[in-house]
Structure 1
Amino acid sequence: MQELQKVPSEMARLVAVCRDGEDEFPFDTRQIPLYIDDSLTMVMEFSDSMLTLDKQQIDNLQLKKFAQRHSMLKEHDLSIAMMVTSREVFNTLSQLVPCVGCRRSVERLFTQLVESGNPALDPLSIGAKGILTLSHSCMSDAAKLYTLFYVCGAKLSGMIEAIPKSKKNKRCQLHSLDTHKPKPLGGNWMDIWEVMSQECRDEVVLIDSNFLLETLENYLRKHRFCTDCKNKVLRAYNILIGDLDCSTEKGYCAALYEGLRCCPHERHIHVCCETDFIAHLLGRAEPEFAGGYERRERHAKTIDIAQEEVLTCLGIHLYERLHRIWQKLRAEEQTWQMLFYLGVDALRKSFEIISVREDKMTYLRRPDLSTDLTPASAHPAVAKVADAYAKAVDCQDNLKSPCSWLQNLAESLEISRGAAVSGF
């Protein structure tokens, strides 16, 4: 069978089902809702392993220098440095990400987190006004901050470059206009199965009989069953969903439907959740995905053969369901990674701007400089940095609401950052 593309098990997992809607579910750290269809929303959970790194991955000399820069910043300045606006994140997004589907998905997830307030990006967080910031425990720990900025943050460009893109329209594979096609993309269905909790597996194998009927009718049309055989297959389907008494059907084989249980009132079919049973059921549908069945007339002259055809359709339906979940999982995983790394990159830039400003202000305070030296008589870049910061701090309204003037300050500092770095 053609298989689903491998899902990295160390990344996102499907841990629960939102049964009462997203608004009522108590999302934990690094969890977001994953919409599958109108009847199913799951909960994705991301690993925190990216912040748990071996000591060999950290340059101790650079860490020491960073810790010195970190210690020079006052708590107030550090808090300001660790706040960036959505505009800063989206500007970088538009510059680095060519896929329009990816950009829209990142913007959608950002807005979703603003509205929900869920701690999905921990240790990053997004406030109600769209300000991206960092947890106090992380920003106050120089080693954690260095790891976040210069080890995790270094993965942004590599992650974006590694995404396969169409040469024609620059869309990535997951946001390609061809993703609606039913053909699987390759890989192993076990990979998506293994990242699901038991609750998610139980929900996946709970089949709506109306959706199964739709798959069955498409299958019957595709293979041009004659009228008698088509009716025989539909009778086998009605037996499965409990609408027809199996005792009235000559040749019915109860063993074929073992592992399947119907709920006539709920219009559900419960499929046995054991991995071997699922593998066997999907194996029945293998020729459909491998291209082994041509569009030719097929027959089901007996009820047991008709049952076999129903089981084939059940395998097709289940495989397409798993494939749809795989697509949703991979796309949302990619979106989350982009937003996380873009947020880290924006915070790093903000920190470096404030850090450079502090370095230059410290230079101006050196005792060997003339006592009447003012920012205006110093290097022009330093003067601009110091002046922008002084004006912002002197305004009492700004001190009361630092978020409102953060963007203006960042822009002023950004203008002189290049000159300030090379000026001394």
Structure 2
Amino acid sequence: MYQLKESRKLSNTEMKECLQISKSEFLEQINLECSGCISALKDFITLNRKDQFISIDQDIKLNDDLINSQRIFKTFAKLQSFGESIKSIISSIFKKTAPQNNKKRCQLHSLKQNPEINIQEHVHYICNEIVNQNEDCIIQDKEFDYHLQNYLKTKKFCPSCKENIQAALKHFKLQVPQPDCACSIICFIKYDHLKCEIHIPYDPILLNALLNKAQIQPFYQHASTKEDAQEELLICIGLLIKDRLSSLYRETQTQEIIKYIFYQQIGEIFKRRLENYSKMKGEHKSQLEELEQYLKKEVEQKDKQKKKRQLKKQKRKEQQLSFDGSVRANYLQESSRRSISPSNSEKNLLKSFGWQGSPSVSPQTRKELEFLQKEHLQEINNRRKQLREQTKQCWCEWCHHHKQK
């Protein structure tokens, strides 16, 4: 129900994109174990076709008239329901389900000998649905002769019985067709001398009669009379007809099964693609919303930090201005209140440093001048002391020089 609501939010273009897949992607995403079914599906999608559900050309896609959010999941349910039809068809083909030891192949494509088909139950279906009206089952002369020789070897007839059966076949081929004759089953079977073919009409009553003959296994193995030889000939035809009908029914039902398997697989794939797309779109939308919220928070936080820094800077500037103003005011007040005229030595010292200012100085300036004066006097004393030492050393060296002379 959630996915249905999500799919309603998709546009028509997005729906078409989800409900279209390439043939290679389809073969990669099918969920089948039977290699025979996979091979049959490859052959099935090779031909371009279109039915009430699917169109196959270069890609596989759902028909445009079914791409509707209200009907799409009903269509998927219909396609997936063909899986149940496959089971019923397989059970109709085989009398009983054989145990599958090899899970890689289904019963339909098993490499072992296929179980016998209960073909008599499907004679009416074959005559009404599979073959065309007034169509005959055609057996080539060479094919029937080969089949008859195998039948005679299997039954181990004696040479005279074999001759009688061959004579019955020769008589059947030479007989003149009588349209109104219905005294025996063999009267409905015609032989075409020009094409050397045996024609058997697809009539349910005739075919069931021949199949009943094929099921008879007489305890005797002789055809000493003409009637017995003709009976053995009908049994041989019945066995051949049984194989033909079984192959025809198996082939038709196999094609039907492959089509149903295709419907089931493509329904599951399209449903999964649509759900994943809706889910991804919802997740993408939620991720975009989360990203937008995250970016919005980041922008708000940066603006807040910027405002905070500006306020702090402004506050420091105001504090500095107020501090400088108070210091300057205090200094002016103090200097005007306690101004002292420098002495002559202090004036001379200040002039030596290149100072030209007002004659009044503050107590702080006086202290600095006193300190500079002390340093200047100390430097002068140090220079005088060095000169005396040098002069003394010179005299000592001169005296020492004259004494040596």
Settle same-fold status: TM greater than 0.5.
yes
**Equivalent residues of 1:241, 1:262 under 8 A apart:** yes
Deviations 1:215-263 (A, max 9, x none): 2111111112222221221121122233x789xxxxxx97452212221
Query: Are residues 1:104 and 2:39 paired?
Result: yes
Q: How far apart in 2 are the matches of 1:241 and 1:149?
A: 57
**The one of 262, 265, 279 aligned to 1:356:** 279
Distance 2:176 2:144 in 1: 19
Q: Give 1:179 shift.
A: 3.6
Moved more, 307-316 or 187-196: 187-196
- SS of aligned partner of 1:84: strand
Q: What is the rounded CA distance, in whole Å, between the counterparts of 1:82 and 1:89 in structure 2?
A: 12
CA distance in 1, matches of 2:169, 2:223: 13
SS at match of 2:267: helix
Q: Which of 265, 280, 283 matches 2:194?
A: 265
- Which of 175, 178, 193 is 2:112 aligned to? 178
Range moving further from structure 2, 299-308 or 258-267: 299-308
Give the drift of 1:312: 1.1
C-alpha contact (below 8 Å) 1:88/1:346 kept by paired residues: no
Indicate the residue corresponding to 1:285 in structure 2: 214
2:76 counterpart of 1:142: no
1:342 aligned onto 2:265: yes
Shift of 1:315: 0.8
Name which of structure 1's ranges 144-153 and 363-372 shifts more when overlaid on structure 2. Answer: 363-372
**104 and 204 in structure 1: CA distance in 2 versus 1, 3 angstrom threshold:** farther
Distance 1:201 1:172, change over 3 A: farther
- In structure 2, what is the Cα distance between the partners aligned to 1:98 and 1:153? 18
Question: Which of 120, 124, 130 lines up with 1:189 in the alignment?
Answer: 120
Quick check: 2:3–2:278 contact (8 Å CA) kept in 1?
Answer: no
Indicate if the aligned counterparts of 1:174 and 1:330 stay in contact, CA closer than 8 A.
Answer: no
- Aligned counterparts of 1:147 and 1:363: Cα–Cα separation in 2: 29
- Going from structure 1 to structure 2, the CA distance change for 1:240 and 1:178 (only over 3 Å counts) comes to farther
Partner SS, residue 60 of structure 2: strand
Shift of 1:169: 5.6
1:396-415 to 2 correspondences below 5 Å: none
- Tell me the TM-score normalized by structure 1: 0.58
Q: 1:132-180 CA deviation, whole Å, 9 max, x = no partner?
A: 21111011x22331112245436659968x9766214642221112346
- Aligned pairs for 1:274-353 (under 5 A) are 274-287=203-216, 292=217, 298-353=221-276
Equivalent-residue separation in structure 2 for 1:137 and 1:327 (angstroms) = 34
Tell me: CA distance 1:179–1:324, structure 2 relative to 1, closer, same or farther (3 Å).
farther
Structure 2 residue 146 is matched with structure 1 residue 223: no
Q: Which has the higher helix share?
A: 2
Instruction: Quickly say closer, same or farther: Cα 1:257–1:155, change in 2 above 3 A.
Output: closer
Q: CA deviation at 1:104?
A: 1.6
Could you say what secondary structure the match of 2:21 adopts?
Answer: strand
Change (3 A) 1:302 1:158: closer
Counterparts of 2:80 and 2:153 in 1: how far apart (Å)? 52
Which residue of 1 is the match for residue 356 of structure 2?
none
Distance in 1 of aligned mates of 2:4 and 2:154? 67
Q: Deviations over 1:296-330 (max 9, x none)?
A: 8x222232321111111111111111111222233
Distance in 2 between residues matched to 1:175 and 1:134, nearest whole Å: 28
In structure 1, runs of 5+ residues without a counterpart are 1-61, 247-252, 375-424
Distance 1:198 1:371, change over 3 A: closer
Determine the C-alpha separation between the residues in 2 that align with 1:151 and 1:199: 28
Q: Which whole-Å CA distance do the structure 1 matches of 2:270 and 2:242 have between them?
A: 42
Pair 1:158–1:170, CA change in 2 (3 A) = farther
Q: 1:156 to 1:220 in 2, by over 3 A?
A: closer
* Partner residue, 1:210: 142
- Residues 205, 271 of structure 1: 8 Å contact kept: yes
Query: What are the equivalent positions in structure 2 for 1:34-183 lying under 5 Å apart?
Result: 62=1, 68-93=5-30, 96-111=31-46, 113=47, 117-119=48-50, 122-128=52-58, 131-139=59-67, 141-150=68-77, 152-153=79-80, 166-168=100-102, 170-179=104-113
Contact 2:191 2:198 in 1 (8 A): yes
Over aligned residue pairs, what C-alpha RMSD do you find? 3.5
Which structure: larger Rg? 2
Give the paired residue count. 285
Equivalent-residue separation in structure 1 for 2:83 and 2:187 (angstroms):
50
CA contact (8 A) 1:241 1:267 kept: no
Q: Which whole-Å CA distance do the structure 2 matches of 1:157 and 1:301 have between them? A: 53
* Percent of aligned pairs sharing the same letter: 18
**Residue identity in the other structure for 1:125:** S
Q: SS state of the match for residue 49, structure 2?
A: coil
Structure 1 pair 78–373 and aligned structure 2 pair: CA distance change class (3 A): farther
SS at match of 1:166: coil
Provide the TM-score with structure 2 as the length reference: 0.61
CA contact (8 A) 1:66 1:142 kept: no
- Mark the CA change 1:266 to 1:349 in structure 2 (over 3 Å): closer, same or farther: same
Indicate if the aligned counterparts of 2:7 and 2:69 stay in contact, CA closer than 8 A: yes
* Higher RCO, Cα 8 Å, sep 6+: 1
CA–CA distance in structure 2, aligned partners of residues 198 and 256 of structure 1: 23
Residues 307, 154 of structure 1: alpha-carbon distance in 2 compared, 3 angstrom cutoff: closer
Partner of 1:22: none
Q: 2:392 — aligned with what?
A: none
Q: For 2:110 and 2:200, how far apart are their aligned partners in 1?
A: 32
**Alignment deviations for residues 45-99 of structure 1 (CA, whole Å, 9 cap, x no partner):** xxxxxxxxxxxxxxxxx3xx55543332122212211112233322333xx3222
Q: Counterparts of 1:123 and 1:169 in 2: how far apart (Å)?
A: 30
Alpha carbons of 1:286 and 1:201: their partners in 2 closer, same or farther (altered >3 Å)? farther
